[in-house]
Amino acid sequence: MKQLESPTDWLEARKIKTRGREEKRPENVFAGGWTSDTTEVQGVPVTRICAWPRGAEAAPVSFALLEDTATAQLGDGDVEESLSWRKSVEEQLPFNLEWQQSSECRWNFYFNLPAEAKCFGLGERLSGFNLRGRVHTLFNYGDSTHVPNFDPMYKSIPFLIIRHQGRYHGIFLDSPARQRWSLDVELAESASVELLSRRGWTLYMFSNASLPDLLAAYTALTGRSKLPPTWSLGHHQSRWSYPDDKTVLEVAQEFRARKIPCDVITLDIDYMDEYRVFTTSPERFPNFRDTVARLQDMNFRVVTIVDPGVKKDAKYFVYNDGRKHDYFCKKADGKPFYGKVWPGQSVFPDFLRQDVRLWWAALHGFFIENGVNGIWNDMNEPCLLGQGCPLPLEAIELPKEHHQLFIQHSPEGDVGHFEVRNLYGAQMSRATYEGLRALRPDERPFVLTRSGYAGIQRYAAVWLGDNMSWWEHLAISVPMLLNVGLSGVPFCGVDVGGFGDDCSPELLARWYAVGMFYPFFRNHCSKAGAEQEPWAFSPRVEDAIRHFVETRYRLLPYIRALFWEHVRTGAPVVRPMIWDYPEDHFAAEIDDQFLFGRDILVTPVLKRGQTERSVYLPEGLWHPFDGGKALEGGRLHKVSFELDDVPAFVRDGAIIPFVDQIQSTDEYELTPITFRIWGDKAIGLYLDDDGISFEYEEDGYNEWLLRWENGEFKSDLVNFGYIAPQREYYFEHAGRKERVSLSR
């Protein structure tokens, strides 16, 4: 096999210009065309600039926007009918944003960053919540070296939020080519973005909004997630890999025997026949359909991994079929592109093409026939084994097409892969989502992806790749997920317990205490590390984990309502404290606590050996989640959390629906629900739907506003469109529990 080049050899061989020391503004060589117009999206003023280089006629078609049109006419009905853009006279943009072209393949953007301003968003960043003070590279890359200065990551979402004087502004630079955002690295109160592309781009500047309004506007453009199937909100168990069907069934039985709720068993790459996608191993999973059915008999769902690399193997139907139809990416000289992944030399479908997406979508019939419930897309940056980042960080020129790995077919014609790299994983997940949706039209698809671009929320949930079983990675999961949520992606999580290295008992318990509040909640680890199933350590750790997982399940009606809120408003599920307390300057700095919806403030223990931490409670009264005396907000408190304490507080004035204990979401529908009330005057929301179909989009849901006033529980019906199976309802307030019936 040919030795792969190191990034330095690569630069040398191709004589690519690399960054020098001088940081003066380069000369402007722009000679193309551009337009600028404005509109309002969900009440937020938006200026749009489209620019293209000499020789082109327009900016490229966007894959991020809801309707995939270059004109950005929103037509999805459920968000906004259509926008009317007005030509804008050239005026100064917020933060004095300016742009130019400095070479045939390089664009620069400059804007001011006042000292007081903070920056958030930009998708998956290995960073604290405030992104200032470093460079963030957006060029999808799969590597597990997540040390503090590591950059870039698996996903690229070029949407930056700037908080300035209590108001929020957003810059969305819609281009799937490499972007480097320098956010005030020299304390210079200025920022810049460098985009390496020979094509044009579209930039949206959202100005002067509240944070919730800004998210509503951004997700009106790039779309929102649908309601997830309820089972996908349960607890997922995964391992790279459970070696065979026997082990998988044993793990599933263990969950039931130990009464640790769980909904999903995930099958990593070893279920396949020598890593050929859309096959199963005849040795290790000889009766695959039967194994899936046995897991489902135990109320588990099965999610299987699917990578983009298709094994180069003349006896393999996917390879042959794809070759016959010319679906795989080719090099600039027209020869096939081969890259090494788990199956060895592999070819890669061009997911930018609709015919290729349709083909890939249809291949999922294999999983449907086998009863598989959801699909996990991995390695889809795409990641090639043994190779560094395909475009080294230092490069300031874009290599010619024959050095961009392969060519892809965009709506504008053939382009080098680096021009559209950040779309590869997103378009793979889109093919997967659309396949599941077409093949099983009555069920909400569940797709999980590692790579993604702006708008990925329309197709998939995301996890943040190969973290380590380190306390640092537990801690950083909080700000990372906050920024992912503010980038429009509500359904997100990290591997609970950490993927690489050995997890310790204390770390696993503390990680579950946070993980139970991740929107996507999965324990996953590499085969190189020690086992970290909930029972891997001691009864004490197992009991603590059981308590956290049980609590997650009891909160399911509340969690379902949080996803409803996203559908309606674009709000993330995991939110920074400034979401609800915008005036609280102290809250703006905090990224080791987060709001799980409006009513729950999570204050996790993130350090080894720690049993006490200081907690900042915003204004109002806050009740310890597991019970105890309420604390006054607006200040810091020292609070101790035992290993099995849920590290969270409930807002005084909240009514939260809790379902009685279940072991899997199969039991959800018939199980009694109790509305727990905190405080003398409280309000809450209760939503119900079938948790699996799309009927909710056609009014098939029920909604009640709940109130507690003068010692009385009241429910006001807001919508009634779903005939739910009968279940019992109760309210509970200060030790008093009574049965209630909801108004009709």
Question: What token pair was written down for 233?
Answer: 């909100």
Quote the CA–CA distance of 508 and 534 in Å, as a whole number.
8
Quote the CA–CA distance of 653 and 432 in Å, as a whole number.
42
Annotation marks residue 709 as catalytic: no
Nearer to ligand GLC, 328 or 499 (CB): 499
Quote the CA–CA distance of 409 and 709 in Å, as a whole number.
61
Site for ligand GLC in 287-306 (CB under 6 A): 305
Nearer to ligand GLC, 268 or 688 (CB): 268
Residue from the set 124, 151, 213, 378 that interacts with ligand GLC by CB under 6 A: 378
Nearer to ligand GLC, 83 or 383 (CB): 383
Site for ligand GLC in 402-421 (CB under 6 A): none
3-class secondary structure, 155: strand
Question: What token pair was written down for 120?
Answer: 């958030």
Is the N-terminal amide bond of 152 cis, ω within 30° of 0?
A: yes
Annotation marks residue 68 as catalytic: no
Nearer to ligand GLC, 466 or 550 (CB): 466
The backbone torsions φ and ψ at residue 199, rounded to the nearest 5 degrees and listed phi first, read -105, 180
Taking the complex as a whole, how short is the minimal distance between the CB of residue 495 and ligand GLC, in angstroms?
Answer: 7
Taking the complex as a whole, how short is the minimal distance between the CB of residue 269 and ligand GLC, in angstroms?
Answer: 4
Nearer to ligand GLC, 160 or 476 (CB): 476
Residue from the set 205, 221, 227, 269 that interacts with ligand GLC by CB under 6 A: 269
The helix (run of H) or strand (run of E) holding residue 449 is: strand 447-449
Length of the chain: 744
Taking the complex as a whole, how short is the minimal distance between the CB of residue 308 and ligand GLC, in angstroms?
Answer: 12
* Dihedral Cα 329, 335, 339, 342, nearest 10 deg: 80
Nearer to ligand GLC, 240 or 288 (CB): 240
Asked if residues 173 and 109 have their Cβ atoms less than 8 Å apart, the reply is yes
Verify binding: residue 341, ligand GLC, rule CB under 6 A. Answer: no
Quote the CA–CA distance of 429 and 154 in Å, as a whole number.
14
In terms of Cβ atoms closer than 10 Å to its own Cβ (0-12, 13-18, 19+), residue 337 is middle
The helix (run of H) or strand (run of E) holding residue 357 is: helix 354-363
| β-bridge pairing 621-624 and 631-632 | antiparallel
Quote the CA–CA distance of 565 and 574 in Å, as a whole number.
12
Per annotation, catalytic residue among 194, 381, 565, 580: 381
Verify binding: residue 350, ligand GLC, rule CB under 6 A. Answer: no
State the alpha helices, DSSP H only, in 555-606. 556-569
Taking the complex as a whole, how short is the minimal distance between the CB of residue 217 and ligand GLC, in angstroms?
Answer: 33
Nearer to ligand GLC, 444 or 450 (CB): 450
How many residues of this chain interact with ligand GLC, rule: CB under 6 A? 10
Q: Say which DSSP state 651 is in.
A: E
Taking the complex as a whole, how short is the minimal distance between the CB of residue 466 and ligand GLC, in angstroms?
Answer: 5
Per annotation, catalytic residue among 419, 466, 580, 652: 466
Nearer to ligand GLC, 448 or 662 (CB): 448
| β-bridge pairing 344-347 and 339-341 | antiparallel
Annotation marks residue 381 as catalytic: yes
Stretch 303-332: interaction string toward ligand GLC, x if CB under 6 A: --x---------------------------
The backbone torsions φ and ψ at residue 259, rounded to the nearest 5 degrees and listed phi first, read 55, 50
Verify binding: residue 645, ligand GLC, rule CB under 6 A. Answer: no
Taking the complex as a whole, how short is the minimal distance between the CB of residue 435 and ligand GLC, in angstroms?
Answer: 20
> Which residue number places its CB atom closest to ligand GLC?
240
The helix (run of H) or strand (run of E) holding residue 534 is: none
Verify binding: residue 466, ligand GLC, rule CB under 6 A. Answer: yes
How many C-beta atoms lie closer than 10 Å to residue 429's C-beta?
Answer: 28
Taking the complex as a whole, how short is the minimal distance between the CB of residue 620 and ligand GLC, in angstroms?
Answer: 40
Nearer to ligand GLC, 213 or 378 (CB): 378
Verify binding: residue 497, ligand GLC, rule CB under 6 A. Answer: no
Quote the CA–CA distance of 571 and 575 in Å, as a whole number.
8
Verify binding: residue 686, ligand GLC, rule CB under 6 A. Answer: no
96 Cβ contact list (under 8 Å, min separation 6)? 110, 111, 112
Asked if residues 140 and 189 have their Cβ atoms less than 8 Å apart, the reply is no
- Please report, in angstroms and rounded to a whole number, the separation of the first and last CA atoms in the chain: 70
Stretch 510-539: interaction string toward ligand GLC, x if CB under 6 A: --------------x---------------
Residue 635: strand pairing partners: 617
Taking the complex as a whole, how short is the minimal distance between the CB of residue 295 and ligand GLC, in angstroms?
Answer: 19
Taking the complex as a whole, how short is the minimal distance between the CB of residue 463 and ligand GLC, in angstroms?
Answer: 8
Quote the CA–CA distance of 433 and 448 in Å, as a whole number.
10
Nearer to ligand GLC, 450 or 651 (CB): 450
Residue from the set 95, 240, 285, 641 that interacts with ligand GLC by CB under 6 A: 240
Per annotation, catalytic residue among 213, 378, 533, 599: 378
Residue from the set 465, 497, 576, 647 that interacts with ligand GLC by CB under 6 A: 465
Nearest to 470 by CA among 541, 396, 529: 529
Site for ligand GLC in 142-171 (CB under 6 A): none
Stretch 538-567: interaction string toward ligand GLC, x if CB under 6 A: ------------------------------
Taking the complex as a whole, how short is the minimal distance between the CB of residue 342 and ligand GLC, in angstroms?
Answer: 7
- Catalytic positions, please? 378, 381, 466
In the complex, the residues that contact ligand GLC under the rule CB under 6 A are 240, 268-269, 305, 378, 450, 465-466, 499, 524
